[in-house]
Amino acid sequence: MIKTFNQLTQRLERPLLSIVTVTHNDSEGLRETLESIFTQRRGLNRTQVVVVNASPGGPSTQLTNQFLRRRDTVIAEPDEGIYDGMNKGWRSSSGRFVQFLNSGDTFFDNSSLGVITDALTSHPGARWAIGRAMHQFGGAKAPSEMHTIPHVWWRHAMGIDGHCHQSTLFSRELLEVMDGYDETVGFVADFDLILRCGLVSPPVEIDSFVVKYEGGGLSLNRREEIPGLLRAVRAKRLGLSDEALEIEWQLMPEHQRKIIEDQSRGN
């Protein structure tokens, strides 16, 4: 009886959600993200925050000291890139689910965390979930919705619909099985992880805007590389040869090819 009570207590004390925030020389973005998290009206008492700070010291350390609580975690050390940092973050987390909200990304409004925790509580056996996301384009143009839901696996796999790891919630168990982000596929490791998760099960869909994705970065500055990287992921995960990939591209309807080409040009 005592053992059962202790197990129940440990389960109740475990955070429902761990929010992993990776930052590198971006104290302004880190402040925006932490302010967004800690001004949420509901859900904070069920949430752990993990900050992976690849450039410790100075303003970023002051911010983590200012915002983080005893239950939260800071990993202050250099990393080998953003996905190395994200892998460090989830492996150091204790939540049943993990969300990646990196420096500069924010919740959509101050009710978003409550919407997420309500959805996860309603689906305790979920392997992963996706909410709606608003793309900010780094301030370069007017924000617009990313086509994250409904999640149609083949449209994601073909690069037709957008994907947003910021609005995606992964169960800890699924991340362990997948071994997190595959850093060998380059800066489309988020696309790759969501593709693999979709092969396991469809996600729970949260029909609300939950995040504002900052945008910019590698996906903007090196966008011309994206179609080739996505094709390489499909070859790796689905066992497609170069010839099969070329046939896939040629057989794709013209309007779908145009969508992919426009995305690679940032249109």
pLDDT score, position 203:
97
Q: Could you tell me if residue 238 is inside a domain?
A: no
Buried b (16+ CB within 10 A) or exposed e, 134-160: bbbeeeeeeeeebbbbebeeeebbbbb
Lowest mean pLDDT among 48-62, 203-217, 245-259: 245-259
Q: Could you tell me if residue 197 is inside a domain?
A: yes
- CATH number for the domain that contains residue 193: 3.90.550.10
Of 256, 152, 235, the C-alpha closest to 198 is: 152
| Number of domain units in the chain | 1
Q: Could you tell me if residue 260 is inside a domain?
A: no
Q: Could you tell me if residue 248 is inside a domain?
A: no
Residue 20's domain comprises 2-221
Band (8; pLDDT cuts 50, 70, 90): very low
Q: State the Cα–Cα distance between residues 261 and 255, nearest whole angstrom.
A: 10
pLDDT score, position 247:
66
Which secondary structure element, helix H or strand E, spans residue 237, and what is its range? helix 226-238
Bigger pLDDT: 219 vs 110 = 110
pLDDT score, position 93:
97
Q: Could you tell me if residue 261 is inside a domain?
A: no
Q: Could you tell me if residue 29 is inside a domain?
A: yes
pLDDT score, position 131:
97
Band (249; pLDDT cuts 50, 70, 90): low
Q: Could you tell me if residue 234 is inside a domain?
A: no
pTM of the entire structure? 0.86
The mean pLDDT of the chain is 87
Q: Could you tell me if residue 78 is inside a domain?
A: yes
Cβ proximity of 39 and 120 under 8 Å: no
pLDDT score, position 7:
39
